[in-house]
Structure 1
Amino acid sequence: MRRRTFLTGSLIGAAAVAVPLDTLLAPAAPAATPAPVTSLAELQSAIDRAVAGDRIVVADGTYTVPPGGALTVTDRKGTAGAPITIVSASRGGAVLRGERSFVFRDSDYVTLSGFAFRQSETLAIPADSTGIRLTRNDFQLADEPGLDWVLVEGDDAKVDRNRFHDRTTQGIFLVVDGPGTTAVAQRLHVFKNHFARHGYTGANGGESIRLGVSSRALSGAHAIVEYNLFERCDGDPEAISVKSSDNTVRHNTIRDSQGGIVLRHGNRTTVEGNYLLGGKEGIRLYGNDHLVVNNHLAGLTGRALVIGSGTTRDHTDGETTEQRRGNDACDRAVILHNTLRGNKSSLSGESREHEPRDVVVADNLLVGDAGSLVALGRTTGFTWQGNILWGAAADGTLPAAGYTRVDPRLLADADGIHRLAADSPAIGAATFTGVPVPEDIDGHPRGTTRDIGADEYAATAPLRRPLTPADVGPNAS
């Protein structure tokens, strides 16, 4: 697909003139460096003319959209292989202020890159627009109660390498909804973003990411949230709140945050290879058929891993709004190869009417010196297998079998993560084979004989470690 870059000038209306043959046959001169657009009017004009493959560059500077106005992207049709790209000349160099920035209508495969967004209204990707991408932007919208900063309702959106930061009020950085009342946006990919410093002190409503909402819980979103860093995300007990089905949350780092990863509504979500370090909440599960594997939870002052009970056994179609808001008991989850170390509460439950059922808790490593390592309420049909417990904390509400109390021999690495020593009894001791686990949290292959906990012992350096600000955000690779 031919690519065009819009200039500040235009060739429209130029007169046609006769050109000598020798001129036509002469070698083409090198193309001039295109000049970026320098005003909102030029930018809107370039957007209105854009076709698949076009690239519109916006000069660095501050652009204030007038009250009631917006940059409208209407009926613009890029393709997956040739998107329409609207990009700041330098990352963060084009600052957009005013009530609204870009408003999408019936547009596909448009990319916004490198802007500093400073609006007082939500940036929305509507259900009639597919393949919209937000990449390498800086989001710090108005610090107003109830303002959600980015809303995704359209399918196949990408939100990557952005920075969301600094707010003190109720509202969510990134919300995923969908058309109608029960559907949810499909195949969203959220990766390599930096979420930081949300200081709202209310009870809830300040998530960093909310995937769905109660009425959409039974709809499969098939979203992937991976390689994101969350720091001081204190706006809600749920930094990542999942309220839809069939999602993957993997390889994220949540550090020094009140919020954790909560599968609040929905079924069949995988939580894999995440680090939750030095904050409060860990991972909390409701709904059915989840897989929680290879996660490392350390130094949490709240509950590290909660197998939730419910006000209902299962959510169903046709529930009232109030019924859907209730908790769905956790059934048939597989909790496998996780490391829980030095948390105030390691593995716990709740006391609602419907107890969790038929959950597998296998090959996990629980180490702690306070309270009880396991504090579950009533359960039914649990499978306990191959777990290691250690530390001064009491065993708690465990069955007579399914675990060993032995020192797992953990050594602190340079990144602060405790991994298995070469003589650890956890090496080769895993016993559960019901779920394939090809690699560990570090990216090392598990092999046919697996180790207990999130770490598979290896003499080589980890391929993945806890994320730092250098790994995410607008300048990430």
Structure 2
Amino acid sequence: MKKSLILLFLTFTFFSYQEILTAQTSKVSTQAELQEAIFNAKAGSEIIMKNGVWNDIQIKFYGEGTKENPIILRAETAGKVTIEGVSNLRIGGKYLVVKDLHFKNGHTPTKSVIQFKINNDSLANYSRITNCVIDEFTQPNREDTDHWVELWGRHNQLDHCNIVGKSNFGPTVRVFLNGNENVYNYHQIVFNHFGPRPRKGGPHGETLQIGDSYTSMTPSYTNVSNNFFDKCNGEVEIISNKSNFNEYRNNIFFESEGSLVLRHGNYCTIDGNVFIGNDNSEFIGGIRVINTGHWITNNYFYKIRGNEFRSALAVMNGIPKSPLNRYNQVTDVVVAYNTYIDCKSPFQFGVGTNIDKKDVLPASEIRSARPERMLLANNLVFNHEEDQYPVVNYDDVGGVTFKNNYLNSENKSDVSNDGIRTSVFEVKKISKDLYVPTKNQEDVYHGFDFETIKTDLFGADRQKQNSVGAITLPITGNPLLIQKELYGTKWFSTEASNYKPKTIAVSSAKSLVSKLKSAHSGDILTLNSGVYKINATLIIDKNVTIISSDKGKKAELRFATGVTGFEMHPKGVLNLENLSLKGDKTQDAIVTLDKNMSKAFNLFIKNTEISKFKSVIKAYKASFADTIAIDNSSIKDCLTGILLNTEIDAKGDYNAEFVFITNSTFDQVQSSVLNYYRGGYDESCIGGNLVLKNNTFTNCGKADESGLLIQNHGIVNVDFSDNTFKDNPVKEIAVLWGEKGQKPVNNTMSNSGEIRIEQNLKQKLMY
């Protein structure tokens, strides 16, 4: 009898447990089923979204899980549930987990793709987004602002996600601290793969922003660790720190054109990070310092070639009594045990004062608060080139103390100090980007609280073996091998496809239209010699090359009255080579869409003749070219030239990042040849790049009301050299920005006005 009762009890318990398990797991295939499952979910529930495309879905995931039994929302198979169309996800409650989802082919209808709150009364706490992907889920209109992930509440986590391809306005990930319920948040942003993020052409393209100017004195305690920032080129700030007590540890910044910027906020820790540049870019930066109490330790910098705002260590002057949205003075900052290999002038002070250090002048009254009580100690600088200029000072550095910093060759900087020492030492190459010293430099400085720096870059105990620089010997293995599989998901990759481009022969206008439409990205269309009468606009929405098959005989594309030549769409890349393009002055040769230019286009014109068009290139507002390059080409008898002048809102934006015009001729262009404009000014922005070199301009500009042949208002980086100007009836050829070091070099002018240098160009401050 007793045994029977026990058996009956166990049987009842087993079936009750099975019933609980069944109740806790819900597999859903429609939006209605999903919302019903969320409504009924309890601690320990698991909601499984059926594999497939979930289109135009706005998910509100809420509930009260527990630490031991969270409520989980996941894909049936990781990566096989795609969220597409006009869709988003909002979560609110406690101990919620979302995993394995893939956002693509769409955009959010709100200000965020994933938001850790449903509304102000329903925040997420102790919740997690993991193993998810947001892939080019960008707004159709590049000017529309959103954030792909917004963290609100406290103790939330974003981990093992891939977040790639944001091209519209707004930081990719943003942490909000508005209200007491969002401070002391202790968020974890870990093991993610961020990027690539393409260049945006102006500000508001950060990958990560923690806080904002008006909550910048607020304690956040956000932890950003073990992430891979991969070609995050959105703007000059990869990370914009705007709150207090945050930690940035063990992240890799790989060829990302910007810096980790301590823009606002105090008492942050930047430890064990790796910054990898290359020989080709001066836009790749390191760490920019503003404000108080930061500790910058154990970081490794390799081939950081940038200057000023993009130097390996950029220390800004502050503004006395600065408003919250400007720049506070640097005080009580420690920079210790860092290694700089082949970096161009790694330490730069007084950044932003815009002073030629050769002139003995004080900093401007606006940017006059120099660093105070700042310590640089136990840093190692090695350069394979003999000449070293480790310190660039745009203002006095009397408030900086140098202790036991070592160079491998003579210090040729203006700043000499007993704390900057030359010592003969060598480094050995461990991997593509890692050099380590062959022996330890053991003469270290023991500063106040330095005992808290317990380990080196790779976790070795500094109490057992200490040395100058980020790395102590011996090291085991190769700890800096970049293993992308450690970051983000296991199932998503940004690697290019294995498609092999095809060469496609074209012999007629009809064939050109049809084969252009069916071509794959990367294909080459070769045109036989002859005249192609084009009666429809040629759409460029992929990477395509159009080239004459016979280099000695240019194929001629002749466009009918009123028919635009080429229309650039998002992600379109057009390569024109050895062609002749002709219009009848009723059409534009190359034009962007007038709206919904969500992503950048690129244009490369080589050995090509362009004649008789209303304009050569016309960019509409909110369109953006990463690169426009015209080389060894001829442009003649057009009403106007290259129009990149529609961003006039004084917000710091512009229509192209790089404009290269080289070895070309311009003849009888009636209006200005180039109008490349940036409205609004913030000294830390990249600000556009123009190379105008070895060109000839003849009989151009007579109909331009501005009286300027070349207009480059607000563009920061300009190379204006080796050009010839002859018989151009303009008042001035160009106005160059003296404050930015712009000057004409080896130009020849005849009957063409002058090139004027304006030292302080009038610009409206963005903020």
- Could you tell me the TM-score, scaled by structure 2's length? 0.54
Mapping of residues 71-470 of structure 1, within 5 Å: 71-74=59-62, 76-105=63-92, 107-118=93-104, 119-121=106-108, 122=112, 123-126=114-117, 128-144=123-139, 145=142, 146-180=145-179, 184=183, 186-278=185-277, 280-302=284-306, 303-312=311-320, 323-350=323-350, 351=353, 352-368=367-383, 369=385, 372-376=389-393, 377-391=395-409, 394-414=411-431, 416-421=433-438, 424=439, 426-434=440-448, 435-436=450-451, 437-447=453-463, 450-461=466-477, 464-465=479-480, 467-470=482-485
Moved more, 298-307 or 361-370: 361-370
SS of the equivalent of 1:41 reads: helix
Contact map agreement 2:315 2:349 (CA 8 A) in 1? yes
Map Cα deviations across residues 142-201 of structure 1 (whole Å, 9 max, x no partner): 322322111112111100000001233332210111234996461110000001111123
Residue of structure 2 in register with 1:15 after alignment: none
- In structure 2, the CA distance between the partners of 1:414 and 1:36, relative to structure 1 (3 Å rule), is same
Contact map agreement 2:154 2:181 (CA 8 A) in 1? no
RMSD of aligned alpha carbons? 2.6
SS of the equivalent of 1:175 reads: strand
Distance 2:169 2:88 in 1: 21
1:24 deviation in Å?
7.2
- In structure 2, the CA distance between the partners of 1:58 and 1:182, relative to structure 1 (3 Å rule), is closer
Moved more, 28-37 or 87-96: 28-37
Distance 1:202 1:272 in 2: 30
- Could you tell me the TM-score, scaled by structure 1's length? 0.86
1:229 deviation in Å?
0.1
- In structure 2, the CA distance between the partners of 1:201 and 1:413, relative to structure 1 (3 Å rule), is same
- In structure 2, the CA distance between the partners of 1:131 and 1:183, relative to structure 1 (3 Å rule), is closer
1:23 deviation in Å?
7.6
Distance 1:403 1:379 in 2: 13
- In structure 2, the CA distance between the partners of 1:448 and 1:360, relative to structure 1 (3 Å rule), is farther
Distance 2:182 2:6 in 1: 61
In structure 2, give the amino acid aligned to 1:427. Answer: Q
In structure 2, give the amino acid aligned to 1:295. Answer: N
In structure 2, give the amino acid aligned to 1:85. Answer: I
Contact map agreement 1:139 1:165 (CA 8 A) in 2? yes
Contact map agreement 1:415 1:465 (CA 8 A) in 2? no
Contact map agreement 1:253 1:466 (CA 8 A) in 2? no
1:60 deviation in Å?
1.4
- In structure 2, the CA distance between the partners of 1:35 and 1:109, relative to structure 1 (3 Å rule), is closer
Map Cα deviations across residues 3-54 of structure 1 (whole Å, 9 max, x no partner): xxxxxxxxxxxxxxxxx99887659589699673222221111111111121
Number of residues of Structure 1 aligned to a counterpart in Structure 2: 439
Residue of structure 2 in register with 1:11 after alignment: none
Contact map agreement 1:153 1:185 (CA 8 A) in 2? no
Residue of structure 2 in register with 1:320 after alignment: none
Contact map agreement 1:80 1:109 (CA 8 A) in 2? yes
Distance 1:360 1:97 in 2: 51
1:80 deviation in Å?
2.6
- In structure 2, the CA distance between the partners of 1:382 and 1:246, relative to structure 1 (3 Å rule), is same
SS of the equivalent of 1:72 reads: strand
SS of the equivalent of 2:275 reads: strand
In structure 2, give the amino acid aligned to 1:151. Answer: E
Contact map agreement 2:465 2:473 (CA 8 A) in 1? no
Residue 71 (structure 2) pairs with residue 54 (structure 1): no
Distance 1:225 1:25 in 2: 49
Map Cα deviations across residues 373-426 of structure 1 (whole Å, 9 max, x no partner): 11122234322111101247x4313343112201331111035311121xx3x4
- In structure 2, the CA distance between the partners of 1:213 and 1:459, relative to structure 1 (3 Å rule), is closer
Distance 2:406 2:181 in 1: 42
Contact map agreement 2:152 2:182 (CA 8 A) in 1? no
Residue of structure 1 in register with 2:536 after alignment: none
In structure 1, give the amino acid aligned to 2:328. Answer: D
Query: Which blocks of at least 5 consecutive residues in structure 1 are unaligned?
Result: 1-19, 316-322
- In structure 2, the CA distance between the partners of 1:202 and 1:459, relative to structure 1 (3 Å rule), is closer
Contact map agreement 1:389 1:395 (CA 8 A) in 2? no
Distance 2:30 2:89 in 1: 14
Structure with greater Cα Rg: 2
Distance 1:385 1:182 in 2: 43
Contact map agreement 2:317 2:368 (CA 8 A) in 1? yes
SS of the equivalent of 1:233 reads: coil
- Hey, which of these two has a bigger chunk of strand by percent? 2
Identical-pair percentage? 22
Residue of structure 1 in register with 2:705 after alignment: none
Contact map agreement 1:386 1:432 (CA 8 A) in 2? no
1:283 deviation in Å?
0.5
Distance 1:81 1:355 in 2: 51
Distance 1:151 1:205 in 2: 15
Contact map agreement 1:176 1:184 (CA 8 A) in 2? no
Residue of structure 1 in register with 2:602 after alignment: none
- In structure 2, the CA distance between the partners of 1:362 and 1:24, relative to structure 1 (3 Å rule), is closer
In structure 2, give the amino acid aligned to 1:418. Answer: Y
Distance 2:259 2:424 in 1: 28
SS of the equivalent of 2:346 reads: strand
SS of the equivalent of 2:147 reads: coil
SS of the equivalent of 1:46 reads: helix
Distance 2:237 2:441 in 1: 33
Distance 1:170 1:361 in 2: 37
